[in-house]
């Protein structure tokens, strides 16, 4: 006898469709300029909702297509990290939203450009992920391509070099473009 699926399982495709349709409709409002008169906090909240709706749709779709497998490795076998990956996607998106909000606060009160703050964040995150080598970063299929081409040590060096360039541009880059 086949296992019985819950009603939640049947609602997932509808949830994906609703999230994607809502995010698409919201993006169309932005494209038409209907949000240009809104205060900055409202535009930021609206953009954050669009981002989280898209990430939520991806997480739910991933849960439908691959309930247990993360799909990050070239291996086909199940690694049971799918639920962790989906939670990580939502937490990661929330962290990005909070970091962008922080960068806007730094720009408003200290005059530090959002570009500079984002470059620091991307550079620091890349350096951390390269040093720690978490499975979602180091076992990703794109990282595997580079690791297979040039080896693990050289891949680490390339990623750290990219992180160093990002941090250099953020800290010592042309101040006329990075600070207003």
Number of neighbours of residue 130 by Cβ within 10 angstroms: 20
Residue 179 φ then ψ, to 5°: -125, 135
Phi-psi region of 155 (alpha: psi -120 to 50; beta: other; left: phi over 0): alpha
Asked if 60 and 12 count as a contact pair (C-beta separation under 8 A), the reply is yes
pLDDT of amino acid 100: 87
Report, in angstroms and rounded to the nearest whole number, the Rg of the chain calculated over CA atoms.
20
Residue 83 to residue 59: CA distance in whole angstroms: 9
The pLDDT score that the predictor gives to residue 158 is 95
pLDDT computed for residue 75 by the predictor: 52
pLDDT value at position 172?
85
What is the mean pLDDT for each group of 10 consecutive residues in the chain (180 residues)? 57 81 87 87 87 83 67 52 74 87 88 87 93 86 88 94 92 65
pLDDT for 179: 53
Q: What pLDDT, on a 0 to 100 scale, did the predictor assign at position 127? A: 95
What pLDDT score does 175 carry? Answer: 54
In total, the chain counts a number of residues equal to 180
């Amino acid at each position: 006898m086949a296992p019985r699926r819950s009603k939640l399982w049947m609602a997932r495709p509808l949830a994906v469709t609703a999230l994607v349709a809502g995010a698409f409709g919201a993006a169309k409002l932005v494209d038409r300029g209907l949000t240009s008169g809104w205060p900055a906090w409202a535009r930021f909240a609206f953009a954050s909702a669009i981002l989280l709706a898209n990430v939520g749709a991806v997480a739910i779709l991933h849960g439908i297509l691959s309930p247990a497998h993360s799909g990050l490795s070239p291996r086909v076998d199940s690694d049971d990290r799918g639920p962790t990956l989906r939670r990580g996607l939502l937490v990661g998106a929330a962290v990005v939203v909070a970091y962008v909000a922080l960068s806007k606060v730094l720009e408003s009160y200290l005059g530090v450009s959002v570009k500079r703050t984002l470059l620091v964040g991307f550079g620091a995150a890349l350096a951390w992920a390269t040093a720690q080598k978490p499975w979602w970063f180091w076992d990703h299929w794109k990282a595997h391509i580079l690791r297979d081409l040039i080896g693990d040590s050289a891949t680490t060096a390339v990623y750290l070099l990219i992180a160093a360039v990002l941090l250099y541009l953020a800290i010592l880059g042309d101040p006329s473009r990075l600070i207003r």
